[in-house]
Amino acid sequence: MAPSTQSTDLPVNEVPADVRSVSDESDISNEEGWEDVEPEDDSQPVVGLFSDTIFPDIRSMLKECKEKNNFDLRKIQKDLDLDFLDTIKLVNYVRSEVKAGNQTPDVSSKAKFEDDAYLKPVLEDDAVLYSLDDITEDQNEQAAPGTEAERKVLELQEELERLQTQFSEYRLAVQKSMDDQLDKEDEKLEPGENAKRPVKDRLEDADADYFTSYSYNAIHESMLKDAIRTDAYRDFVYENKNLFKDKVVLDVGCGTGILSMFCAKAGAKKVISVDNSNIIDRAREIVYDNGLGDVITCIRGKIEEVTLPVEQVDIIISEWMGYALLFEAMFDSVIYARDRYLAPGGLMVPSHATLRVAPYADPDFVASHISFWNNVYGFKMNAMKMNIHDEALVRHVPTTSIAADSAVFLSLPLHTITVDELTFLKDFKVTLSQDIDALDGWAIWFDMFFMPSADSTVPSDAVPADMQKKGYVAFTTGPFGTETHWQQTICLIDHGKEEPRALKKGQVITGQIGYQKKEQGSRLLDLSIQWQVDENSKGAQRWSLQ
């Protein structure tokens, strides 16, 4: 959505004429007198949630949202019992949805915006976030007189002080995150001593940062609240207790230990939980708090470096999947554990995975992400589009943006696949199921399957829903299933100076898709896709996932 360049509201910091002429005797040339009436407010403008209109305060903005967009923030707060941070997430969720072209975001449940990603402001210096305490003040003013009302006001004031403290901490955390990111970008723009450091040292630092990121609550909360993910592991373990009874299980990258505890509850004789981040200390406490310390042993370190108390294990369970499946390269460690510790005939949980690709067509998203920079509050910001097509994006894709049935380009039998096979160039073929004005990009996702033995097979074109009907546990991270924290990976096409061609339903697109680590030992991933409809419509591009 292009920002509006007009507004009927007063510009920020402009003093009305009736204030400037306080009396006939006022000498507006007197600087001291002028300073007395000119406000010193340097606050940011309140930008509407559903438009680019500038409002004098949050109250007038929320009034318009309620009247024109049927969005009542105060009512939503009350109905969903939102605290201060929940309300911040709600505001950023609404802004992100509107930015993506959705003028009626679904706010029927707190689950729609509970992801901690919504703590990051969509709009820089968003005055709405800094004005949320005004809403609480309004509610206090509406309290009925009397002893009970006074007590309630005091409680609300105390709560407001607590929330203001939390918000201050939140602002500092966001600022620190932005500063850290800018520092990293500066290092990229101005190569210095860091660029001269040996690759091994840089990879070791990146590896340390990777494990540190898993030390914080937010990432584990996000994963545990992903019911599609967590329910699948729980259901497979609890529905197949005969497979786990009296077995030795290895949990690679155990996190909070939830998978280990599932296995222990299912009757495993011994569970060894390994993780190289500080979360292992929390996991150890959680294990003992739940009375499972005699079954589960927690070990800190990389699976490639630790010494396990057993020579072999009967089952390896791990939630290793990253964006586009292989981002983070954790599966390399799981393969190492399999080859080093899994007994012959032992079970991998999950057991199979498939990677899928489909053509993507969404002009509204392209406009919000790319064309947006053409006119930002009336200013050209084309410089911001530099290299904008080089990075793969992680987003939830509307099903209407998928222009063909997806194609499986890689099947991964987890019992046998090797690390070398995770770098590849694979063919694919799709047939358009609708007319599209342009091929805007490609969407990538993966499906996971939990089979009961090392000898079980999964058809290369298997669909999780069909496998579930047969009694197996499986799930998809694709747009046609319930959204997961992995969402989908979008690779937008850079059409350059050439106008993209419209394509018709029934046209066939063939191509090749490649995965390759950024450099040997890196957790970052480079994706490449070559495609062709006919001699006049073809292309090739590379994206980074980092």
Say which residues have a Cβ less than 8 Å from residue 367's Cβ, sequence separation at least 6: 1, 101
CA distance 285 to 299: 13
Annotated catalytic residue within 97, 285, 319, 535:
319
> Packing angle between helix 58-69 and helix 73-80, nearest 10 degrees?
80
319 catalytic residue (yes or no): yes
The DSSP code for 109 is S
Q: How many CB atoms lie within 10 A of CB 519?
A: 11
45 within 8 A of 54, measured Cβ to Cβ = yes
Say which residues have a Cβ less than 8 Å from residue 129's Cβ, sequence separation at least 6: 88, 91, 92, 121, 167
E-strand ranges in 160-255 read: 248-252
Q: Which tokens in the block code for residue 362?
A: 């969404």
CA distance 358 to 408: 9
Annotated catalytic residue within 14, 64, 150, 328:
328
52 within 8 A of 377, measured Cβ to Cβ = yes
Say which residues have a Cβ less than 8 Å from residue 48's Cβ, sequence separation at least 6: 54, 55, 61, 64, 65
Q: Which of 420, 404, 403, 428 is nearest to 530 (CA)?
A: 428
CA angle 149, 153, 157 (to 5 degrees): 170
Say which residues have a Cβ less than 8 Å from residue 66's Cβ, sequence separation at least 6: 72, 73
298 within 8 A of 286, measured Cβ to Cβ = no
Q: Which of 262, 410, 274, 255 is nearest to 333 (CA)?
A: 274
Residues annotated as catalytic are 319, 328
